[in-house]
Amino acid sequence: MSIETLPRQRRVTSDGVHRSLGLIHGEVIMATGELHRGELAAVAELISDAPRIFLAGAGRSGLVLRMAAMRLMHLGLDVHVAGDTTTPAIRSGDLLIAASGSGTTSGVVKAASTAAAVGARIAAFTTDGASPLAARAEAVVIIPAARKADHGGNASRQYSGSLFEQVLLVATEALFQTLWEVDGTPAEELWLRHANIE
């Protein structure tokens, strides 16, 4: 059924878009307001101390972590995304940043297990502090959002984990901003590290 044939009450309107923007804005504001600043600071410290940083996430969470990897690369850090063909083996002392809303995503938990087995440090972003991912992590950031399969609308009215991914983006951007302010490198110098072949 095309939009032209939808009954009037089901057509897309600017009011509908306005309501959606308001819903998303309100939920992101509320959830980011509930983030524990000490948890984020602990991850920032791990990033500062790590010789190399690896990021692992699946699906949309993985896409957010790819954006975070780019920002950390802009700071001049040695950064790798799990699963890329050029990603080296993780070693003792390296840092794995992993994200899974449920904390049970098999590939992400396996990456954390591998990292732990070689003595790497682990930071996790999840909604569940009692999850297998959180249990493997030295630093855990709890994101107060619905899990992907939670369709009850209690933690979020958005669909399938959207709030988790949105807040994950804000949290990783806040980490970058904090680290950049400490680093003090001018934006013009960071820009020289930006990809110039795409």
pLDDT in tens, 179-190: 999 999 999 999
Convert the pLDDT of each residue in 148-179 to its tens digit.
Answer: 666 566 678 888 789 999 999 999 999 999 99
Mean pLDDT confidence for 109-131? 97
- Per-residue pLDDT, 146: 72
Confidence of residue 65 (pLDDT cuts 50, 70, 90): very high
Mean pLDDT confidence for 121-143? 97
Convert the pLDDT of each residue in 20-43 to its tens digit.
Answer: 999 999 999 999 999 999 999 999
**pLDDT > 90 fraction of the chain, expressed in percent and rounded:** 85
Say which residue the tokens 């732990």 belong to.
116
Q: Is 103 within 8 Å of 112 (Cβ atoms)?
A: no
Confidence of residue 192 (pLDDT cuts 50, 70, 90): very high
- Per-residue pLDDT, 5: 64
Class of domain 36-192: alpha beta
Q: What is the dihedral of CA 57, 60, 61, 67, to 10 degrees?
A: 90
- Per-residue pLDDT, 160: 76
Catalytic residues: 165
Convert the pLDDT of each residue in 96-109 to its tens digit.
Answer: 999 999 999 999 99
Mean pLDDT confidence for 133-151? 86
| 79: phi then psi, degrees, rounded to nearest 5 | -125, 140
Boundaries of every domain in the chain: 36-192
As a whole number of angstroms, the distance between CA 142 and CA 164 comes to 10
- Per-residue pLDDT, 198: 83
